[in-house]
A and B are shown apart, each in its own frame.
Chain A
Amino acid sequence: MSAQTWTYLLVGLTFLVYIIIAIVARAGTTKEFYVAGGGVNPIANGMATAADWMSAASFLSMSGLIAFMGFSGGQYLMGWTGGYVLLALLLAPYLRKFGKFTVPDFIGERYYSKNARLVALICALFVSFTYVVGQMKGVGVAFARFLNVPFDTGVYIGIGIVFFYAVLGGMKGITYTQVAQFCVLIFAFTVPAIFISLQMTGNPIPQIGLGSKGTDGVYLLEKLNLLSKDLGFDAYTSIDRGNLVNMFFITGALMFGTAGLPHVIVRFFTVPRVKDARISAGWALLFIAILYTTAPAVAVFARTNIINTLSNKSYAEVPQWFTNWENTGLLSFEDKNNDGKIQYVADAQLNELTIDQDIIVLANPEIASLPAWVIGLVVAGGLAAALSTAAGLLLVISTSISHDLLKNYLRPDISEKGELLAARVAIAVAVAAAGLAGLNPPGFVAQVVALAFGLAASSFFPAIILGIFDKRMNREGAMSGMIIGIVFTASYIIYFKPQLGGAGLPENFWWGISPEGIGTLGMILNFVIALVVSRLTSPPPIEVVELTERIRTPRGAENNTSPTH
């Protein structure tokens, strides 16, 4: 069978599974809709969290990014995993004990203020929406490239599928679909890596293969360092000294941002006990680590393969995959010195090969000449990654509207049935809106995703941490911290992002910190301001101090849930 047939078959099959799960696991109450009834097994929740977390970007783009960055790529690997340690140790157990549905719930009650709830709600909506538009676009691109349908049709199919299982199943449907999607995506990511690791090093485990000797008896990393230097690039494992401060801050912003993202936090409301929330974060990170420790191996295998297959080779004899990708415009060759050979070098004047980092994962099986079914599998995996993240984000959006805005702000007297209907309508509208925005993404969407982490790090993270660990923290402190943290971070990002209309130049970055890393500084600012202001204003009311004490011990969490249990 051809790769095309395999792709249709595997994508069709996986979609069928998702739909069947959605029908079996539909939600009947708001509690099922928001937090899957609060009874999800911690290992299943770990898988769902992992699928929720690993987006099209993790699956498709990250390895390519690392392949072209070398050592500095570690900022994504550490940044997007280290946040789970913070989640498990500082947030998840306490928020589970608190026992409501959303992050604005916590902010609103802990800081005894409807306005605080509203600020949190707006942040949650903004962060989730920008994020989900990128996923919808990812779905469209994946369909367009592999099923030979137009981009628009690809997005419509994506909208249709997510619409079906998110509207019907709510968190319950999404959780169990995500478990299936996790299995698909992790299998799809590791199988090609195992094959290639075997081919190149004789060791089937990519994480070990990466540190092993190649078939020629030279360590793989050593060989790639030599190849890179020959072509004028920096050695792959060498450290860019001038970039270390920036790398430090970016890693921090991604970690603290991860721990402050509403769609990740909400997953820990779905397990039965505090104990389960802790262990569930452990399982989630274990499952995420499978992909995140394989990705740097994929990066090195691909980079080495590309140099070996293409560098100084005659253009007339390039393999078939080269021509296929040339047609998509993501790979291009320009024979600057007219010698008919491909010069792939660091010097931009002489370099003749341009490679889009996004094709690394997709083209890897072809570059390594793996069987056709592997290619189909990778497509199914990429779609699973994009769809699972989109669904999780859409749920946060709909919960924010029906629960935080409608039930707790505008119309507290709404009935259970009315709220469930509102949640379904909200998610339906959100799916459609995200899809439409994905069809025609405003140019700044991709740039705004970088904002999401910085904003989450500089707003939610300190407010939640202080709400748990500082009994004296009051409304005035938390709100001034959040507002100043967010405004500072957003201003810096907008000023230094030309795509957002900013006028700032990289040479004027503070201490060399790029917009991606500024969230770390915004977070520190938030902490300092919150602590100072809270000490200068009146202490929180006694009920709130009691609430803070109550969430610090696990006992009683199983009763601490909504009345519809």
Chain B
Amino acid sequence: MSKNSNTYWKTNLKYLAILLGIWFTVSFLFGIILAEYLNQFMIGGFPLGFWFAQQGSIYAFVILIFIYVYLMNKLDKKYDVDEI
């Protein structure tokens, strides 16, 4: 059980690292640090860096949470720690 809950926690941490990596990339990286570089590309009428800073990062945040919920619900079931 202890070994089991150890792998459960490690998998959780792996998910967190990946999802938070994306969280950092779309906002701090694409929306701020690399925004000037990205602004030379356009999607529709949006310069790309501007789009990430004011639209894209927010959409990504919402999607990230729902992916996390999906992954964790599956993980809870797999390790038999889910709620009734």
Contact = CB atoms under 8 A, between A and B. Distances in A.
Contacts of A82: 23, 27, 57, 61
Given A82-B23, A285-B61, A296-B55, A244 B47 contact: no
B55 A248 contact: no
A71 interface: yes
Task: Bin the interface of chain B by size.
Answer: 35 or more
B62 A289 contact: yes
Contacts of B12: 552
B69 A211 contact: no
Interface in B33-51: 33, 35-36, 39, 43-47, 49-51
B43 to A, nearest CB: 7
Contacts, number: 145
Interface string B63-84: 0111011001100100101111
A292 interface: yes
A554 B76 contact: yes
Contacts of A81: 57-58, 61
B36 A241 contact: yes
A282 interface: yes
Contacts of B69: 88, 275, 278-279, 282
B12 to A, nearest CB: 8
Contact of B58 (A73, A239, A274, A292): A292
A73 B59 contact: no
Contact of A78 (B19, B36, B53, B83): B53
Nearest to B9: A552
A74 interface: yes
A244 B32 contact: yes
A285 B39 CA distance: 26
Interface string B8-29: 1100100010011001000110
B23 A85 contact: yes
Given A88-B65, A289-B59, A221 B45 contact: yes
B54 interface: yes
B7 interface: no
Interface in A29-47: none
A84 B61 contact: yes
A275 B55 contact: no
Contact of A251 (B28, B39, B43, B61): B28
Contacts of B20: 85, 89
Contacts of B58: 77-78, 81, 289, 292-293
Interface stretch (A174-182, A212-220, A344-352): A212-220
Nearest to A244: B32
B59 A293 contact: yes
A429 interface: no
A78 B62 contact: no
A293 B50 contact: no
A237 interface: yes
Contacts of A556: 83
Contact of B82 (A89, A248, A554): A554
A262 to B, nearest CB: 21
Interface string A412-423: 000000000000
A239 B35 CA distance: 8
Given A237-B39, A239-B35, A273-B83, A77 B54 contact: yes
Contacts of B82: 275, 554-555
Residue of A82, A86, A281, A293 with highest tally of chain B CB at under 10 A:
A82
B39 A74 contact: no
| Residue from A85, A208, A282, A549 having most chain B Cβ neighbours under 10 A | A85
Contact of B55 (A71, A85, A207, A554): A207
A78 B31 contact: yes
B65 A281 contact: yes
A213 B46 CA distance: 11
Contact of B39 (A78, A210, A239, A286): A239
A558 interface: yes
Given A85-B64, A89-B20, 6 more contacts: A81-B57, A208-B44, A221-B47, A275-B83, A553-B8, A555-B81
16 contacts: A73-B54, A74-B50, A78-B53, A85-B65, A88-B65, A210-B46, A211-B46, A221-B45, A237-B50, A247-B32, A251-B28, A274-B83, A279-B66, A289-B58, A553-B81, A558-B83
Interface of B: 5, 8-9, 12, 16, 19-20, 23, 27-28, 31-33, 35-36, 39, 43-47, 49-51, 53-55, 57-59, 61-62, 64-66, 68-69, 72-73, 76, 79, 81-84
Interface of A: 66, 71, 73-74, 77-78, 81-82, 84-86, 88-90, 93, 207-208, 210-213, 219-222, 237-239, 241, 244, 247-248, 251-252, 255, 273-275, 278-279, 281-282, 285-286, 289, 292-293, 296, 549, 552-558
A-B interface, 8 closest residue pairs, ranked by CB to CB distance from nearest: A74-B53, A219-B45, A282-B65, A211-B44, A553-B81, A211-B45, A296-B54, A237-B50
